[in-house]
Structure 1
Amino acid sequence: LGREMRVEARKLARDHRISGVEFIGCDVSLDGEYVEVKYQADEKQLDLRPVKDGLQRAYDAQVTLRRFGFLDRSGDASGCDTCGLPLCCATWSGARDMGPVNVRLAKQQGVTPNEKIIGCCGEVKCCMRYEHDAYKEFKGRAPFRNSIVQLGERQGKVVDYSMVRDSVVVQVGPKRSEQEVIPLGVLARDNPGVVPADPEDWVLPATADANTDAAADVAPDAGADAGADGPEEDRED
């Protein structure tokens, strides 16, 4: 019955000159009184009342038209993605509720849009959304790119991120090979005004200036302590 109703829906759309719509399936209740017709359409505003009314008269059933996107269709078809796992939209209903993933999320994770991040539905893969919060949290703690940081007696420039290792890539010399992966915890010791030492020390942009001033006030005391320790070591020698 479902296939028959889908064919009839196509005929009704053609008779009423409704273009840009494709009927892809029908779900019929066991008693045949309720029918859900799934369709895809190019336009958001499409009047399909003639199709609905025609189906209700022909089959004496309560008909509901449900628009399906590419994500819904992939979820219904199911299958596996390139990771080898079942499609997110087929195993987790929340993926459909949140809709397609924006390309902007991929760019914020440092991923250049390409065919590898496109899923079976033709949209960006749902897994890009899962990792977005982790990247957002990491970048909230990491220094900006091109920031100058102190590494003991040396200085370097932040050129890249390594979120998985909770680290940043620092250029310490003129050659490209002169790069080091420095954990944020290590970087925070020498750069208190650039990298918070602990997640509890995260600051909002509005309070960043105040914390920078506070760090500057503490710096002379730290230097004085270091200077005081120096002579004591010399005397012991």
Structure 2
Amino acid sequence: MSCVNCAAKALLNKSSNTTEIAAEACGKLDSYDWLNDLPGNQNNDLVVEVRFKNTRKDFFLNDQQLFLKRGDYVAVASTHGHDVGQVTLTGKVAVLQMNRKNLKTAPDKTIYRKATSADIENWNKAKLREKPVMIRARQLVDQLRLEMKISDVEFQADGSKATFYYIADGRVDFRELIKLYAKEFNIKIEMKQIGARQEAAMVGGIGSCGNELCCSSWRSNLDSVSANAAKIQELPHNVQKLTGQCGKLKCCLMYELDSYMEAQQDFPDVLLELEMEEGIAYPKKKDVLQKIVWYGMSATDNSKLFSLPLARVKEIIMMNKKGVKAPAVNIKESDNKEEPKYVSFENELSVTERFKKKNHRRKYKPKQYQKE
């Protein structure tokens, strides 16, 4: 799922016309220009959004008034030298996207030209150095015994600079490491610390839902997820099911949280016991979205439960406050909706335990023949 396996690599090698490449090449955090087909959206704005390796994007100025469209590869200015990226947004949408990100300063870097065949060739040569450099960089980290991990390496298109993305729990003194890198690779070194979620977005992959990871396909705001989100949605307390490939709680736990919190407001803070004619009904569980509460006539036995709508539960509570007991409920007639089936993962083996499990195959024993 990384840029090394992107379809653009093969297309760039066999075609020198960069305008025909982007239609077939895919990338992470792809953007859609929803104002492209509307009248009056002419490409007369100076701001252009350009995407680079993985999820890195930046805004540039089109001072030369080049006619650019989504998918064009351009050579842009960098701090040292130049870089090559792909145009993702132009026109009004690029300005709206820049305002949405609340950038503190306006873009000051410019676009030099559309990428030529020489720019693409140098770019490919620089990208081929990334993997061997990353392997060697990890070896140097182990030699210095630094508590950090080199996650990825990104070379500039002209090959004069490389950015090393690393993960560390705390502050790391890598001054000696930078000297070794500069001596080993003969390039300008830049170190950037990232988190576990940013690393998962760079590497990419397939989630448990079967789709590409949200952080590497469309989600750009990687906020922290609280464990209270799973508690509000009454999800099973299973770490393997709630954590993603980054080892953190899944970002998708926040997608339906607002709906659950809005529906939760209709429920009382504490579900009280109901006084029925046949006895006390104890609350067992609830369905927040369907607004149904399951009760049982025994405090310990959960085999025989009946469901009541939330509105009916509130009516019975008001009746009990007035000293009136609710009429008996026929369990078979009242349970119109099926009881939700909860899956328990307590007995499920973890990934490591599966490999530790011994294979109890019956050993083959040769038959012993008696001598005559």
TM-score by length of 1: 0.64
Deviation at 1:30, TM superposition (A): 0.8
Which 5+ residue runs of structure 1 have no aligned equivalent? Answer: 195-215, 220-237
2:130 equivalent to 1:2: yes
Identical aligned pairs, as a percentage?
A: 21
Match of 2:154 among 23, 27, 34: 27
Instruction: State the SS of the aligned residue for 2:212.
Output: coil
The 3 A distance-change label for structure 1 pair 55 and 158 is: same
Aligned-residue RMSD, C-alpha: 3.4
Distance 1:128 1:165 in 2: 19
Note the alpha carbon deviations across 1:102-135, whole angstroms, 9 max, x for none.
Answer: 3343234323321222322222222222233333
1:132 and 2:257 aligned: yes
| 1:27 shift after superposition | 0.8
Cα pair 1:23 1:40 within 8 Å, conserved = yes
Q: Secondary structure in 2 aligned to 1:20?
A: coil
2:229 aligned residue: 105
Distance 1:83 1:193, change over 3 A: farther
Which amino acid in 2 is paired with 1:113? H
Aligned residue among 47, 56, 64 for 2:190: 64
Give the drift of 1:81.
1.8
Alpha-carbon offset, residue 80 of structure 1:
1.8
Higher relative contact order (CA 8 A, sep 6+): 2
Contact conserved, 1:24 with 1:40, CA < 8 A, in 2?
Answer: yes
Letter in 1 for 2:295: V
Q: Which amino acid aligns with 2:310?
A: L
2:313 paired residue number? 187
Give the superposition deviation at 1:68.
3.4
1:13 aligns with 2:138: no
How far apart are the structure 2 equivalents of 1:28 and 1:137?
47
Q: Distance in 2 between matches of 1:13 and 1:189?
A: 67
Q: CA deviation at 1:93?
A: 3.0
The one of 86, 106, 113 aligned to 2:212: 86
Q: Deviations over 1:169-213 (max 9, x none)?
A: 233x2363442322323434454699xxxxxxxxxxxxxxxxxxx
Task: Report the residue type matching 1:70 in the other structure.
Answer: A
User: Which residue number corresponds to residue 161 of structure 1?
Assistant: 286
Contact kept in structure 2, 1:103 and 1:113, CA below 8 Å: no
How far apart are the structure 1 equivalents of 2:305 and 2:291?
A: 16
Q: By how many angstroms is 1:162 displaced?
A: 0.6
In structure 2, which of residues 178, 182, 186 is the aligned counterpart of residue 52 of structure 1? Answer: 178
CA distance in 2, matches of 1:146, 1:192: 13
How far is the alpha carbon of 1:56 from its aligned partner? 4.2
- Structure 1 residues 170 and 112, CA gap change in structure 2 (3 angstroms): same
Q: CA deviation at 1:65?
A: 1.4
Gaps of 5+ in 2: 1-128, 323-372
How far apart are residue 164 of structure 1 and its match?
Answer: 3.1
Aligned residues: 191
Q: Relative to 1, partners in 2 of residues 1:7 and 1:117: Cα closer, same or farther, differing over 3 Å?
A: closer
User: Could you tell me how far 1:71 is from its partner in structure 2?
Assistant: 2.3
Distance apart, 1:37 and its partner CA? 0.7
Helix, strand or coil at the partner of 2:265: helix
> One-letter code of the match for 2:311?
G
Paired amino acid for 1:10:
R
More helix by share: 1
